[in-house]
Amino acid sequence: MRKKLPIFVGIFFLIALIGTGIACDLESTAPEPQSGGADIQILTHNLDCEAPPDIQILNHNLNCEIHEWSDYCDCSITGAVKNVGDGDAEGLSVEAEFFDAHGIRIDESSDYIGELSAGQSAYFDIFYYETQCPNNYDIWTEDWYDYCDCHLTGTVKNVGDGDAGLVSVEAEFFDAQGWK
């Protein structure tokens, strides 16, 4: 009982201090600006972004053949893609997922195309070789270097009374849905 009494008294004292606000500051406040300090404001800004490439799948067809000697299903999806955008695509591939009769994904595969300049077309051939033949498939393109090339320019000014040192401008970019 003697060991428990100091612990109990200590816990009670701590609860009393927290309850009165003495033990910790529960509100966070920003410091007030000092007179004579720097005050940096953004006066102008302009954001120019190059549109990412627009790749369209022009056509595609699934062909399958079962080999008698192996009972394997040998399939390929053949087709063509075209860059209908203004920018070049780099690291372009055509991706495919294969599904069984119940809509369950059974495999995936792809064909790497590489670079595709604006207006250029390319053929693709995606291979599938498994014991189960697919009943359906989905295809899409991936551009592994599909970055929006943006340039942010502008002007900042110290409108405060003091000198500003080590000033840096930071920016966050968001898409139309609000994602970074």
Contact 94, 141 (CB under 8 A): yes
Same domain, residue pair 82 and 107: yes
The answer to whether residue 177 is domain-embedded is no
Q: Is 152 found in the same domain as 131?
A: no
Report the number of distinct structural domains present in the chain. Answer: 2
Same domain flag for 98 and 120: yes
> In the prediction, which pLDDT does 37 show?
67
For 19, phi then psi, to 5°, come to -60, -35
pLDDT tens per residue across span 65-96: 988 788 899 999 999 999 998 888 888 999 99
Average pLDDT over residues 2-7: 47
Query: pLDDT tens digit string along 36-60?
Result: 567 777 777 777 777 778 899 999 9
CB 41 within 8 A of CB 33: no
Q: Are 67 and 42 in the same domain? A: no
The predicted model scores a pTM of 0.57
Residue 89 CB neighbour total at 10 angstroms: 26
Does 29 map to a domain? no
pLDDT score, position 177: 78
Q: What pLDDT shows up at residue 154?
A: 80
**Cβ atoms of residues 96 and 138 within 8 Å:** yes
Residues 126 and 110 in one domain: yes
pLDDT number for residue 107: 95
Residue 14: inside a domain:
no
| CA 89 – CA 117 distance, rounded (Å) | 6
Residue pair 117/7 in contact (Cβ under 8 Å)? The answer is no
Asked if 107 and 165 sit in the same domain, the reply is no
The reply to whether 25 falls in a domain is no
Q: Is residue 13 part of a domain?
A: no
CATH number, domain of 116, equals: 2.60.40.10
pLDDT at residue 105 is higher than 90: yes
Helices (H) and strands (E) in the chain, counts: 1, 8
* Average per-residue pLDDT for the chain: 77
Cα-to-chain-centroid distance, residue 176 = 13
pLDDT at residue 103 tops 90: yes
CA-wise closest residue to 127 among 113, 140, 143, 108 = 108
Q: What pLDDT does 6 receive?
A: 45
What whole-number percentage of the chain has pLDDT above 90?
39
Are 59 and 121 contained in the same domain? yes
Q: What is the pLDDT of residue 157?
A: 81
Tokens found for residue 135: 């009943």
Calpha distance 105→128 (Å, rounded) = 13
Assess whether 66 and 139 both reside in one domain.
yes
**What pLDDT, on a 0 to 100 scale, did the predictor assign at position 153?**
81
- What range defines the domain where residue 79 resides? 55-143
Half-sphere CA count of 130, side-chain side, radius 13 A: 14
Q: How confident is the model at residue 147 (pLDDT cuts 50, 70, 90)?
A: low
pLDDT for 29 equals 38
Q: Which residues pair with 14 in a beta bridge?
A: none
The SS3 of residue 145 is: coil
